[in-house]
A and B are shown apart, each in its own frame.
Chain A
């Protein structure tokens, strides 16, 4: 699953540390998410989307073939 976290974070001038604190995760989790190495749970996806004031679909790109 791809995501736009890094792009949105830079647009909103939020550091990885700040985003991690606001979502109650470690900075390493944000790094893994940005690199596409880890897929978040629906709860974390919701928290991240909320930080940017967007919906989950606007932040995470779900690809059909991944199913």
Chain B
């Protein structure tokens, strides 16, 4: 149940952010871009928020199903699988970015090379920062 309640709060937050963005766009965005920005926000934040809220509320009415959903999301094997998947995806992404950097360098695309190199440097810095943080924490 805790998980479903957290989900509901999360989707309410989504809706609130979406609504605030709609107001901000209506008030401050240039008239020509308004329609495009609003479509993006409505399709992104509001649809996700409303859809998620409907699903979570339905789940709240069925405690057995809610418990099953919570187990599926939080049990240790799921977390292990998620961690392994994220780690692999991260490694593959780095390899792709590295390859992209070399290819763009050879082809003479200076801007792309600089952007990809900056991404790699940020990755390394973040890796060191989080590595140090978790090493101290655990």
Contact = CB atoms under 8 A, between A and B. Distances in A.
Interface of A: 24-26, 28-29, 32, 38, 40-41, 43-44
A22 B77 CA distance: 16
B26 interface: no
B72 to A, nearest CB: 6
Contacts, number: 22
Contacts of B72: 26
Interface string B42-86: 000000000000000000000000000001100111101000000
Interface of B: 71-72, 75-78, 80
Contacts of B80: 38
A24 to B, nearest CB: 6
Main secondary structure of the interface of B (DSSP, over half): helix
Contacts of B78: 26
Nearest to B78: A26
A38 B84 CA distance: 13
A40 B71 contact: no
A29 B72 CA distance: 10
A32 B78 CA distance: 12
A62 to B, nearest CB: 18
A26 B71 contact: yes
